[in-house]
Amino acid sequence: MSKMKSKTIERWSPWIFLVSVVLLWEVICSGFGVSEFIFPSPSRIGQQLIEYQDVILGHAWRTFWVTMVGFFIAIVVGVLLGFIIGSSRIAYAAVYPLMTAFNALPKAAFVPILVVWFGIGAGPAILTAFLISFFPIMVNIATGLATLEPELEDVLRVLGAKRWDVLVKVGLPRSMPYFFGSLKVAITLAFVGTTVSEMTASNEGIGYLLISAGSAMQMGLAFGGLVVVGVMAMAMYEIFDYIERHTTGWAHRGSQN
C-alpha cells in the first residue's frame, strides 16, 4: 500500500516540482513587484505565448526541423566514425586526439565561418546542430565496440570468426545501449547548436526570435521562446528515452526487477 503510494509520488514528482517552481516564481514576481522588463512572471510569459502564438509556432517549427536535420546528419556521421574508430585500434589511436581537440572548440565560433560559406539561413544552423551533437554519438559507439570481453572474442575466434563477424554479432548489439544513451544527450545539444546559430545567422527560428524580442524589450516573448526550446528538447529527450527502454531493456535489467 505505502509502496504503491511512494511509486505514485515518484511518478508525479517532476510535475509537482515544476508546478511548485512556477508558483514560487509567480509569487516572488508579484509579491516584490518585479518589473516585467527585468524578469517577467510566468503568467505574463503565458499571456505573451498565447498572444504571439502564430509567430512563435512558425519560429518553433523552423527551429525544430533544422535541429532534426542536423541531428540526423549527426547520427549518420557519428555512427560511421564511431564504427571506424571503434573497430580498429590504429584508427582509434589516430583519430581520437584530434576529435577531442575539435570537441573542445566552442561551436558558436564556427557560426561566422559557416555564414561565409553558406550565407544566412538554414545552412549554418543545420551544420552547427550537427557539429555540436555528433561527438557524443561517435564516442559512445566507439566505446561500445572497443570494450569487448577478451574471452568472448577467443570463443568466437576459435570458431573462425572474422573481425567483421565479431563486430556484427557482438560489438554492434553491445553498443546499442551506449548509442541510445548518447542520442538523449545529443538531441539536447543539437537544440543548443541550432538556437545559438539562429541568434546571429538567421532571420527565422527561436534563436532569431530571442534576439529580436530582446532588442525590442519584449522580455515576456523572449522568455516564451526559451520555454518553447526547453519544451521541444525535453519532449525529444523523453521520446529517445522511451525508445531506449523498449529496445535495449536487457541493459537496464537491474531497474526493471
Partner 1 sequence: MSKAFVDFENVWLAYNDELLAQENFAVEDINLSVNQGEFVAIVGPSGCGKSTFMKLTTGLKMPSKGRILVDGQPVTGPLKISGMAFQAPSLLPWRSTIDNVLLPLEIVEPYRSNFKTNKEAYMARARDLLASVGLKGYEDKYPWELSGGMQQRASICRALIHEPKMLLLDEPFGALDAFTREELWCTLRDLWEAQRFNVILVTHDLRESVFLADTVYVMSKSPGRFLVKKEIDLPRPRDLEITYTPQFTDIVHELRSHIGAIRQTTLQASA
Residue 253 CB, nearest approach to partner 1 (Å) = 5
H, E, C per residue of the chain: CHHHHHHHHHHHHHHHHHHHHHHHHHHHHHHCCCCCCCCCCHHHHHHHHHHCHHHHHHHHHHHHHHHHHHHHHHHHHHHHHHHHHHHCHHHHHHHHHHHHHHHHCCHHHHHHHHHHHHCCCHHHHHHHHHHHHHHHHHHHHHHHHHCCCHHHHHHHHHCCCCHHHHHHHHHHHHHHHHHHHHHHHHHHHHHHHHHHHHHHHCCCCHHHHHHHHHHCCCHHHHHHHHHHHHHHHHHHHHHHHHHHHHHCHHHHHHHHC
Query: How many residues bind partner 1, per CB under 8 A?
Result: 21
Residue 74 CB, nearest approach to partner 1 (Å) = 25
216 near partner 1, judged by CB under 8 A: no
Work out which of 173, 217, 230, 231 binds partner 1, going by CB under 8 A.
173
151 near partner 1, judged by CB under 8 A: yes
Work out which of 33, 97, 159, 215 binds partner 1, going by CB under 8 A.
159
18 near partner 1, judged by CB under 8 A: no
Residue 142 CB, nearest approach to partner 1 (Å) = 19
Region near partner 1 per CB under 8 A, out of 74-82, 157-165, 197-205, 225-233 = 157-165
Nearest to partner 1 of 26, 153 (CB atom)? 153
